[in-house]
Structure 1
Amino acid sequence: MKPQIPSHAPPADADARKAVKPVICYPVDSLTAPALELYQRARATAQKVDEVLIPARDARTFSVPAGQFFRISSVEGSQVGDLNLWNADDLNERFYSGKTRALHGTHLSVSDRMWTSFPAMRPMATIIDDTLDWYGFDEFGGSVHDVIGTRCDPYTNNLLSGGQYHHCCHSNLTRALADHLGCTLDAAQPHVHDVLNVFMCTGFTRDTGQYFMKASPVRPGDYLEFFAEINLLGALSACPGGDCSDEHSSDSAACHPLLVEVFAPENGALGEWRSPHVNGYDQSHGR
């Protein structure tokens, strides 16, 4: 627990220091806005070309070529999912949750983009539809689809409880990626990374600043939909926490499957659209 009583007395100008107005670290006005109208027109022409059902407390991989769409849906009950994305042609380029959070905020919704890791650092997927966009932020500071949590994992579970639980999202994603690549768990594990917590309702407590979760508002029929900016390999885990109203990393929560569907637009529906170029920094690093 964090100490509730400070060890040091505040200085005489404490109130003035606290009253300093915040400055946004990364103003995004100069970013090229996603072509949402183009994407949505193309989506209206799209037909489903693939689907993958993610079993409860497990994970599966899926592929989405650049210029196609994918949807993650709740199909049976309130359930959250942990999403990893990679460049399908180079697994070293993967979702960078920390930079995505710095650019777009703690929770994502329509028009926000998932950005890739250095040195490419470019948009990899753009959110084009979100049936939970009505939720906003609640009185506790909670919202949905966060990029602040990492993923439930067996290492933290072991640290806190001493247990050996194997269906944490980290392990689920590791198994799914190893199966897809036909490699060992040890080879797959370094590629698993911090996630987009799809449908999860989270925030930070105002008194201690601790990461919290609460029952997700997601219901069967709700979905989050994306446009693939580059060729994507995805992995989605149906979290063992179910709707995350109580706990995760155990078999006690009611859990449900999630559905991933992939849609291909008609030829020519995207016009002259092309995948984003990799980041323009010359990588000289001052040398």
Structure 2
Amino acid sequence: MKKPIDAEARRAVKPVICYPVDALPQPDMAAYEGFRAQAKKIDEVVVPPRDAATFSVPAGGFFRITSVEGPQVGDLNLWHADDLTERFYSGKTRALHGTHVTTGQRLWSSFPALRPMVTIVQDTLDWYGKDEFGGSVHDVIGTRCDPYTHNLLSGGHYHHCCHSNLTRALADATGLPLHEAETHVHDVLNVFMCTGFTRDTGQYFMKASPVRPGDFLEFFAEVPLLGALSTCPGGDCSAEHSSDQAACYPLLVEVFETPKRALAAWNQPPANGYDRSHGR
């Protein structure tokens, strides 16, 4: 097609942020720091390579994901512990906070609740920022590696994709049949993964994660949580994310409980106040 004479003027229109977040209630990071100082470790789970595991976190508690042996990416799912239909909503989190998240930002839950599920309180990779390729760490872009896309692109039947790992872990934790558990597995927070979009084609890319043993990402639980973490079969995702050849390492999840007396003045965020009856 012939380029219109006003093409450059159309391109030069300034963008507008879709969801200004200035009006959002800001997390009280000082209060969370005080809670953390009193919190006691109550559980830990080591997630083996190319596998997944679940964990539970009380409201007002914390959980920390740590690299313990080598550079490893993890795929995180979160559900409200009392209602699996309220789950982490990566798309809305991305719309509110951007493609990658770090300290002080939140992971939001699905409709109709649409409330903070967790707040990121510590991130040892926050120094990374954005690199020259447009890459950054901890993305809410990718959907999780899955056997369906793998089959579509290569004809393979790989059973240790993060989608499959998360499905099995959730089924084991809840007693749900695999086909029912699978319906609750959702788009993830790609913990430690370094990703972005190419400038020329706009394609999703990944590169070797900057994570090293001792690096961690820590969250404050705004609601009671059931979490599941998969160690990506691509290891640090420097080359591929569905592989039996990539070097893979475990990840450690630690759970901390804040004493109830310390939480006396804190309240869980309420579910979204939108009155759905007016739209029906």
Q: TM-score if structure 2 supplies the norm length?
A: 0.99
Whole-angstrom CA distance in 2 between matches of 1:252 and 1:236: 21
Aligned length: 280
Instruction: Indicate yes or no: 2:204 matched with 1:218.
Output: no
**1:238 maps to what in 2?**
231
Q: How far, CA to CA, are the matches of 1:285 and 1:266 in structure 2?
A: 41
From 70, 75, 86, give the equivalent of 1:77: 70
* Deviation by residue 1:135-160 (Cα, 9 ceiling, x = unmatched): 00000000000000000000000001
After TM superposition, give the deviation of residue 265 of structure 1 in Å. Answer: 2.2
Aligned to 1:204: 197
**Match of residue 18, structure 2, among 18, 22, 25:** 25
AA of the residue aligned to 2:186: H
Aligned counterpart for 1:34 among listed residues 14, 27, 44: 27
Q: How does 1:264-275 map to 2 (within 5 A)?
A: 264-275=257-268
SS in 2 for 1:93: strand
Percent identity over paired residues: 75
Letter in 2 for 1:154: P
Q: Could you give the per-residue CA deviations for residues 162-221 of structure 1, whole angstroms, max 9, x where no partner exists?
A: 011000000000000000111211010000000000000000000000000000000000
What does residue 90 of structure 2 align with?
Answer: 97
Within the alignment, does 1:115 sit opposite 2:108 as a pair?
yes
Partner of 2:40 in structure 1?
A: 47
Deviation (angstroms), 1:106: 0.2
C-alpha displacement of 1:17: 0.4
Partners of 1:276 and 1:233 in 2: CA distance: 17
Give unpaired runs (5+ residues) of structure 1. Answer: 1-7
Q: Quick one: distance in 1 between partners of 2:270 and 2:117?
A: 11
User: In structure 2, what is the Cα distance between the partners aligned to 1:183 and 1:66?
Assistant: 24
Q: 1:56 aligns with which of 49, 53, 62?
A: 49
Deviates more, 1:265-274 or 1:47-56: 265-274
**1:256 — aligned with what?**
249
Q: Which amino acid aligns with 1:189?
A: E
Amino acid at match of 1:276: P
Deviation digits for residues 93-144 of structure 1 (CA, Å, limit 9, x no counterpart): 0000000000000000011101000001100100000000000000000000
Q: Report deviation, 1:286.
A: 2.8
Q: Which runs of 5+ in 2 are unaligned?
A: none
Residue in structure 1 matched with residue 99 of structure 2 by the alignment = 106
Please give the alpha-carbon distance, in whole angstroms, between the structure 1 residues aligned to 2:163 and 2:187.
9
Match of 2:276 among 276, 279, 283: 283
The aligned counterpart of 2:125 is 132
* 2:248 partner amino acid: C
Measure how far apart 1:260 and its partner are. Answer: 0.3
TM-score, length basis structure 1: 0.96
SS in 1 for 2:113: coil
Query: For residues 134 and 207 of structure 1, what CA distance do their matches in structure 2 show?
Result: 26
Q: Is the contact between residue 59 and residue 173 of structure 1 (CA under 8 Å) also seen in structure 2?
A: yes
Corresponding residue number in structure 1 for 2:148: 155
Aligned partners of 1:280, 1:46: CA distance in 2, in Å?
Answer: 31
Letter in 1 for 2:33: Q
Q: CA RMSD in A?
A: 0.8
Amino acid at match of 1:25: C
* Shift in Å, 1:47: 1.5
